[in-house]
A and B are shown apart, each in its own frame.
Chain A
Amino acid sequence: MKNQIFSIYLIFTYLTIFTLSCEKDTTADPDNESELITTVSITFTPSTGAAKSFKWTDKDGAGGLAPVIESIVLASNTSYIISTTFLDESKSPAENITAEIQGESDEHLICYAVSGSVPAVQVTDQDKKKNPLGLAGTLKTTTAGNGSIKVSLKHMPDKKASTPCSTGETDVEVTFPVTIN
């Protein structure tokens, strides 16, 4: 009899020990966000003259060090071709993520919101499904003045919606101050 009781206790104890699992996760991948965007670079190419690039950079993510924001300086009454690139500069060498956005173009949308004296940006490129993408565009300045351009990268937007830029999840949203001389 005593043995019977003892074996029941033993079975339940083993059952417990085997089901109590506590293995430590050994894969060293503390953040899992292995691919991030630290930098937005926007290049303005005038019809005549040299192209100029401006960067918005935050290498250490939210919090910590403040981002470094370059001011965009443009000439008045000039047509520009815009090209926007996204970089991960936390790695060395820096990784260009623009190509990957291009690869998943139907799932992304780059939106430009302007304020002040800055004229609207016309998106010129298209995604795989012939909907706007926004990595390329044009802008034609008129009078001199100040303002800003807000560049957003939307993930999984509804490009058929009336305002596609207010759908989807925002992966990037940066604002550049702009001076038009």
Chain B
Amino acid sequence: MNVSGILSFKYGCFLGIMLLFSNYLAGQEFHTSCSLNVKVAVVDPQGKPLAYVNVGVLGQSIGGSTNEEGILIFKNLCKDNYAFQFSRIGWGQDEITFLIEKDTSILMVLRESGIMLDKITVLGYGDKIGKTTIKEVLDLEALRSTMGFGLAESLKQLPGVQTLNTGASISKPIIQGLHSNRVLILQNGVRQEGQQWGSEHAPEIDPFLSTKIQVIKGAGSIRYGGDALGGIILVEPPPLRREKGIDGELHLQGMSNGKLGILSGQINGNHSFGNLPVSGRIQGTLKNGGNLHTPDYFMNNTGVREENFSWMLGTEKNNLNSTFFYSRYFSILGILRDAHIGNLTDLTNAIERGRPLSDGAFSREIGRPQQQILHEFFQWKNIIDLQHDGHLEINLSRQFNRRKEFDAHRNFGTLPTSLENPNILFEITTYRGEVDLEHNWNANFHGHIGLAAMQQVNTTDRGSLIPDYSQWTGGVYYTLKYKKPTSLWEIEGGIRYDMNRLRIDDLNPKLQDFKQNQFQGFSGTLSSVFHLSTSGFLVFQTGSSWRTPHVSELFSEGVHHGSASYEKGNPYLEPERAFNNSIHFEWKEGKFKVQSTAYYNWINKYIFLSPQREAVLSIRGAFPAFNYNQSNVSIAGLDGNMTYSLNNHWDFTFQAAMVKGRNVTENDFLIYMPTNKVQLFSTYYLNAKENATHSFIRTQLTHVAKQGRVPADFDYALPPDGYFRVDIEFLTHIENKFFPNIELGIALNNATNTRYREYLNRFRYFIQEPGRNLVVRLRIPFGHS
């Protein structure tokens, strides 16, 4: 042993096991200058890498956090004694001293001594996404308590995310006032390609397959696409098991509203075949719910079914990590019968009534109208570790999405009972290939260079809302991060070029000139971090991104029965371009923790549906007409939260968000912008919150204001009044001999059974939001080594 370890445990929070490898780089000679490298890898007792462990050196301003692989590399160290400090939010801290005299690799095993992650959000560090990328991570406990409600509802807990809903079953995330095509969702690093343009098309991802959901904005995000005007949502499955054995978990959930039941589980395993380790996972979710009820009545035909399945298989050998990932999402969603209307007269009648004709009854049957969505995803991902030079990642994927929509429309006669002939059927198949090279130029410069290509075919087999099309896109990007350990500044910049070739098939003969379309452009970002002190920092971000108009915006034509409007595409649309600027602030000192983001985004040629003076006349009556149009708009907002930990038992968090959208060209407000929202969370821990088997009772008070910033003469009804909602959650951990850490959660959502309507629910004209809901959930982890 060339390295001697002097162990000095100060607090005893960690139960660490040190494994020192002195042959980190074979053939390295003894160094006399300050050029030693130390690789620190942190794992948990199961061998899973631990990210977000802060590692610093006592008395020196070097260090950082472990990345997704649990790794942090120190470069250019001199031959000396180093006291490494390890800390993790909620876990306390500890330190250990080593004599470093040659390149060294340290494997640190940390045992959990407290809760997994911090309460609300963690602004992350890490190698792949630096601090220069503003990043909000959904805390695991918060994620688990909301997974049963779908991806968007889970994300809603972050201060900067709201949702756009269609009834109670369809929910889409809104980031900084933007949604649909302006928000990218990535599953295990690959862009989700479905029919995300539609405001009633929810993301096709099972939240149960993930343990980490985060929203990112800024320089590091350019790697994933130049068209994320609002932001990027990363949904990541947990890493595969790395040590021999089997583990898994089972989720059981029941909800009183809709009598919804969820069964979800996964099994992870690892086995070595000869000297080749193979890891695998099989995961699946079943969901079944019936009609939901508001405080006053049932909502007919609002049941839901979900059958999801995924597997992952991977191996690691020498410097190569290769993974196959397959996921299949299938859901059947009932659409509120009363929201399916024939024409404007029906809409006016429905709005006047403000509620369904009858009180309805509970039923699990899902009739028309309904949606059936299938999304299949297959990925082959390879990561080649180039040692201290960085990583090379090659990512190949195929996605297939089939969306069937069944109307409740028939001019006469009874509706067909079979669901063999959907009124709308879209099928979209996407192939993607991506190569990313992470390169460490030297200790201070760290870059990513990469390219991405996509081929996509969309067919509209039923209905005529959008034409068939094929699309080819290609992009190249380069990002560079400067971070000098002694500097108070960190800077990261990125530039990306994208091109898009779009061919429209079966186009209206009048539009033959628009058969071939080509768009291209640059996007770029610049972010810098300024460390105010060890307890706080500021992030300044500026950037520009652009988005090609979607086929639906260019060529859609037809009546939209959810809103009784006639929507017409505009083939003359040009790409829209956003200029994003933001300041992010974070401070943690003693019992206080604050984080806040202020942003101002300007979008040139923002594409939106503009109301037309002349209604379209048809045999069904007059339909208000909307054409896709472009304007210059500005969207400004402020969101953040503040946590005060009174003592070991009490935590208080205040969270608020506001967004203001202006159509600058027309000097009016933008429609469907999120309303001002304030929330207060009070958490009482029955035992010490650092305890791994902690229990708490949390009360969440939410106040949503009435939306006053609405465009004139744009909407069918005035925005609904503001509301106040109370949610109560109890969480505890049960230990027993066979299952060491069962998590039991009991929540009462909308505890006071408040009658309210949400401005951002497209069905607010017809129905109230759901009433009281009792949720009971169990998570049973198990393992065998």
Bound Cα distance from A114 to B130, whole angstroms: 69
* Contact of A104 with B278 at beta-carbon distance under 8 Å, contacts A22-B427, A63-B566, A166-B349 already known: no
Kindly specify which of A70-78, A118-126, A135-143, A168-176 makes contact with the partner chain.
A168-176
Q: Closest approach, in angstroms, between the C-beta of A107 and any C-beta of chain B?
A: 8
**CB nearest neighbor in A for B404:** A25
Give the shortest distance, in Å, between B126 (CB) and chain A (any CB).
30
What are the interface flags for B380-419 relative to A under an 8 Å C-beta threshold, 1 for contact and 0 otherwise? Answer: 0000000000000000001010000000111111100000
Nearest residue, chain B, Cβ from A6: B273
**A81 is an interface residue with CB less than 8 A from chain B:** no
Question: Which A residues, 1 to 45, have Cβ-Cβ distances below 8 Å to chain B?
Answer: 1-2, 4-5, 8-9, 12-13, 15-16, 19-22, 24-25, 29-33, 35-40
Interchain CB contact (< 8 A) of B558 among A5, A13, A62, A107: A62
Bound CA–CA A179/B620 (angstroms):
23
B533 lies within 8 A of chain A by Cβ: no
Check B583 for interface membership: any CB of A closer than 8 A. no
How large, as a class, is the contact surface on chain A?
35 or more
Evaluate contact between A173 and B411: CB separation under 8 angstroms. no
**B residues 261-288 touching A (CB-CB < 8 Å):** 273-274, 276, 278
Chain B CB within 8 A of A61 CB: yes
Asked if B462 and A63 sit within 8 Å, CB to CB, the answer is no
A180 within 8 A of B: no
Is the Cβ of A62 less than 8 Å from the Cβ of B566?
yes
Residues on the A chain within 8 Å of B618, using CB: 58, 61-63, 67
Interface string of B599-636 (1 = CB under 8 A from A): 00000000000000000111111110000000000000
Query: Closest 10 interchain pairs by CB?
Result: A173-B621, A170-B342, A62-B618, A1-B274, A25-B461, A169-B342, A166-B349, A170-B343, A1-B273, A170-B346
Task: Return the CB mask of B329-348 against A: 1 if under 8 Å, else 0.
Answer: 00000000000111101100
Kindly supply a per-residue 1/0 record for chain B positions 445-473, scoring 1 wherever the CB is within 8 Å of any chain A CB and 0 otherwise: 00000000000000101111000000000
A-B pairs with beta carbons under 8 Å apart, 9 shown: A5-B315, A8-B278, A24-B459, A30-B463, A155-B342, A170-B345, A171-B342, A171-B620, A173-B345
- Whether the Cβ atoms of A67 and B378 lie closer than 8 Å is no
8 further interface pairs, Cβ-Cβ under 8 Å (given A152-B621, A170-B620, A173-B622): A1-B276, A8-B278, A8-B313, A24-B459, A63-B557, A152-B345, A169-B341, A173-B620
A153–B409 Cα distance when bound, in Å, is 13
Interface centre among B341, B558, B618 (most CB of A within 10 A): B618
- Residues of chain A within 8 A (CB-CB) of B413 are 100, 103-104
B412, A101: Cβ atoms under 8 Å?
A: yes
CB-defined interface of B554-597 with A at 8 Å, one 1/0 digit per residue? 00011100000010100000000000000000000000000000
Q: Is the CB of A2 within 8 A of B274?
A: yes
Would A32 and B462 count as touching, CB distance under 8 A? yes
Tell me the chain A residues, 145-167 only, with Cβ under 8 Å from chain B: 152-153, 155, 158, 161, 166-167
Query: B343–A173 contact, CB under 8 A?
Result: yes
Assess whether B326 is interfacial by the CB under 8 Å rule.
yes
**Given that A9-B313, A19-B328 are contacting pairs, would A32 and B274 also be in contact in the complex, using a CB cutoff of 8 Å?**
no
Q: Contact between B412 and A104 (Cβ–Cβ < 8 Å)?
A: yes
The smallest beta-carbon distance between B457 and chain A, in angstroms, is: 10
1/0 contact string of B536-570 vs chain A (CB within 8 Å): 00000000000000000000011100000010100
Q: Are A63 and B425 neighbours in the complex by a CB distance under 8 Å?
A: no
Q: Which residues does chain B contribute within 8 Å of A104, judged by CB atoms?
A: 412-414
Q: What B residues does A97 contact at CB under 8 A?
A: 411-412
Q: How far is the CB of B621 from chain A (nearest CB, A)?
A: 3
B420-443 near A? 1/0 per residue, CB < 8 Å = 011101010100000000000000
Smallest beta-carbon distance A52→chain B, Å: 21
A32 touches B461 (CB 8 A): no
Residues in chain B near residue A13, CB distance under 8 A = 324
Instruction: Please tell me if B357 contacts chain A, counting CB pairs below 8 Å.
Output: yes
Does B311 reach chain A (CB closer than 8 Å)?
A: yes
Chain A residues lying within 8 Å of B346, measured Cβ to Cβ, are 168-170
Interface check B193, CB cutoff 8 A: no
The residues in B between 218 and 249 inclusive whose CB is less than 8 angstroms from any CB of A are none
The answer to whether A167 and B619 touch across the interface, beta carbons within 8 angstroms, is: no
Taking a contact as CB atoms closer than 8 A, the residue among B357, B412, B616 that contacts A155 in the complex is B412
Of the residues A32, A67, A108, contact of B619 by C-beta under 8 Å: A67
User: In the assembled complex, which residues on chain B have CB atoms less than 8 Å from the CB atom of A33?
Assistant: 409, 423
Among residues of A, the one whose C-beta sits closest to the C-beta of B326 is A16
Asked whether A37 lies within 8 Å of B411 as measured between CB atoms, the reply is yes
Q: A62-B558, A62-B566, A104-B413 in contact; A158/B311 too (CB < 8 A)?
A: no
| Residues of A bordering B, CB below 8 Å | 1-2, 4-5, 8-9, 12-13, 15-16, 19-22, 24-25, 29-33, 35-40, 56, 58, 61-63, 66-67, 97, 100-101, 103-104, 107-108, 152-153, 155, 158, 161, 166-174
Q: A16-B326, A62-B618, A100-B413 are in contact. Are A32 and B345 (CB under 8 A)?
A: no
State how many angstroms separate the Cβ of B499 from the closest Cβ of chain A.
26
A158 to B411, CA, bound (A): 17
Q: Provide the residues of chain A in CB contact with B153, threshold 8 Å.
A: none
How far is it, in angstroms, between the C-alpha of A37 and the C-alpha of B342 when the chains are bound? 13
Query: What A residues does B313 contact at CB under 8 A?
Result: 8-9, 12
In the bound complex, residues from chain B placing their C-beta under 8 Å from that of A4 are 273
Most buried by A among B274, B398, B413, B623: B413
Which residues of chain B are near A2, meaning CB under 8 Å? 273-274
Contact indicator A37/B378 (Cβ below 8 Å)? no
Contact A29 B311 (CB under 8 A): no
Q: Among B274, B412, B461, B623, which residue has the most Cβ atoms of chain A within 10 A?
A: B412
Listed residue (A33, A58, A97) with the most chain B CB atoms within 10 angstroms of its CB: A33
- When the two chains form their complex, are residues B412 and A172 in contact, meaning their CB atoms are under 8 A apart? no
Report whether B620 and A62 are in contact in the complex, using a CB–CB cutoff of 8 Å.
yes
* Chain A: minimal CB distance from B750 (Å): 30
8 Å CB interface, B302-328 against A:
311, 313, 315, 324, 326, 328
Cα of A155 to Cα of B621 in the assembled complex, Å: 14
B411 touches A171 (CB 8 A): yes
What chain A residues lie within 8 Å of B621 (beta carbons)? 152, 170, 172-174
In the complex, the chain A residue whose C-beta lies closest to that of B420 is A27
Q: What separation, in Å, do the CA atoms of A56 and B341 have in the docked complex?
A: 22
Contact B273 A5 (CB under 8 A): yes
B376 within 8 A of A: yes
Docked CA distance A32–B408 (Å): 12
Tell me, rounded to whole Å, the shortest Cβ–Cβ distance linking A151 to chain B: 10
Q: How near does chain B come to A86, taking the closest CB pair, in angstroms? A: 8
In the bound assembly, the distance between CA atoms of A33 and B561 in angstroms comes to 14
Q: Which residues of A contact B411 (CB under 8 A)?
A: 35-37, 97, 153, 155, 171-172
Which residues on the B side are within 8 Å of A168 (C-beta)? Answer: 346
Assess whether B619 is in contact with A40, with CB atoms less than 8 Å apart. yes
Q: How far is the CB of B323 from chain A (nearest CB, A)?
A: 11
Q: What CA separation (Å) do A33 and B622 show in the bound complex? A: 19
Chain A minimum-CB-distance residue to B623:
A62
Q: Is the CB of A62 within 8 A of B616?
A: yes
Please name all residues of chain A whose beta carbon is closer than 8 Å to the beta carbon of B557 when the two chains form the complex.
Answer: 63
Task: Report how far A25 CA is from B616 CA in the complex, Å.
Answer: 32
Name the interface residues of B155-191: CB closer than 8 Å to any CB of A.
none
User: With A169-B340, A170-B345, A172-B620 as given contacts, are A19 and B376 in contact (CB-CB < 8 Å)?
Assistant: yes
Given contacts A58-B618, A58-B619, contact A167 B566 (CB under 8 A): no
Check if B311 sits within 8 Å of A58, measured CB to CB.
no
**Which residues of chain A are near B412, meaning CB under 8 Å?**
35, 97, 100-101, 104, 107-108, 155, 171
Chain A min CB distance to B571 (Å): 15
Q: Known: A171-B412, A173-B343. Is A38-B619 also a contact (CB below 8 A)? A: yes
Contact of A25 among B343, B345, B409, B425 (CB under 8 A): B425
Using Cβ atoms and an 8 Å threshold, which residues of chain A touch B566? 62-63
Q: Which A residues are in CB contact (< 8 Å) with B461?
A: 24-25, 30
Residues of B within 8 A of A166 (CB): 349, 352
Contacts of A5 in B (CB 8 A): 273, 276, 278, 315
A166 CA to B352 CA, complexed, in Å: 10
Q: In this complex, what residue of B is CB-closest to A100?
A: B412
Shortest Cβ distance from residue A175 to the other chain B in the assembled complex, whole angstroms: 8
